[in-house]
Structure 1
């Protein structure tokens, strides 16, 4: 069967049409969008800058705690390095005497500067900051040392995960 001229023309036109993306109009739109966003992000006052925050009077003073930090290298009590963490991996060591001595020294300094006497039921507090790579047996030795020094409340600092409700 012989093809008509119309059928040949349609086939020729269909072969010429290929799907391609014209980038010039898309780049124009993107450049306008970038300039718009740049202009509006750097121009104008931020709402937080215009806020006048109220002042507050604290009714109860924050609790003062002694901070014990345990890094993979050292144990630091209130800013002073007292022991190497590698030495605490030994199972023969039950308590860390360096931590106990430092805590007793801190308590002695606090009691000298304190104006009112300490109540008997008042417990002292320690906040323990530890690297997540430190095994719990090392932390347990440090916590045992803290309780031996009279620090009854021990808080282990962690990062709170978002709750999945």
Structure 2
């Protein structure tokens, strides 16, 4: 019996129709979970925000930074977690050591409840990123205001010196 080309094609198609169907939903779920774990594992390195206006002093510090409230002191402004709270010129013009807007902002941020119990102790820590050219008097005012807002653990951000 001689088959026409159309019949041959239909027979070949019927014979090759046993291909497996893939469940794409399960495959997408697997890739989503894989991407989630890869991204969560890559976040092991903690970096502090580094604005271009602040040149950190170099140091041989070995301790890595921890996640705290960051007070940035540049030559012009004082920022808390990226929000400007005071200008350096106004702070330096005053005779008292307390920077009231800084204290108020730190009290506001420090008053927030920590979600997890192990992060509760870290909530009263502050990291000061001070430009290397700021006067000690300004740094003392920032530290005093932080202490008045009940932030007892004060850290200074530095740039790691290479070759040490």
TM-score range, shorter chain: 0.5 to 0.7
Residue by residue, what CA displacement relative to the aligned partner does 1:55-84 show, whole Å, maximum 9, x if unpaired? 6599xxx95300000111110011110000
More RCO (CA 8 Å, sep 6+): 2
Q: TM-score, normalised by structure 1?
A: 0.54
Report the CA distance between 1:118 and its aligned residue.
Answer: 8.5
Pairing 1:38-57 to 2, within 5 Å after superposition: 56=41
3-state DSSP of counterpart to 2:159? coil
The Cα RMSD (Å) is: 3.1
Extract unaligned runs of 5+ from structure 2: 1-37, 44-64
Kindly name which structure, 1 or 2, has the bigger radius of gyration based on alpha carbons. 1
The residue aligned with 1:148 is 148
3-state DSSP of counterpart to 1:145? helix
Q: TM-score, normalised by structure 2?
A: 0.54
Pairing 1:13-28 to 2, within 5 Å after superposition: none
The residue aligned with 1:68 is 71
Q: CA 1:117–1:76 in structure 2 vs 1: closer, same or farther (change >3 Å)? A: same
The residue aligned with 2:32 is none
The residue aligned with 1:9 is none
Extract unaligned runs of 5+ from structure 1: 1-54
| Number of aligned residue pairs | 106
Q: CA 1:57–1:163 in structure 2 vs 1: closer, same or farther (change >3 Å)? A: closer
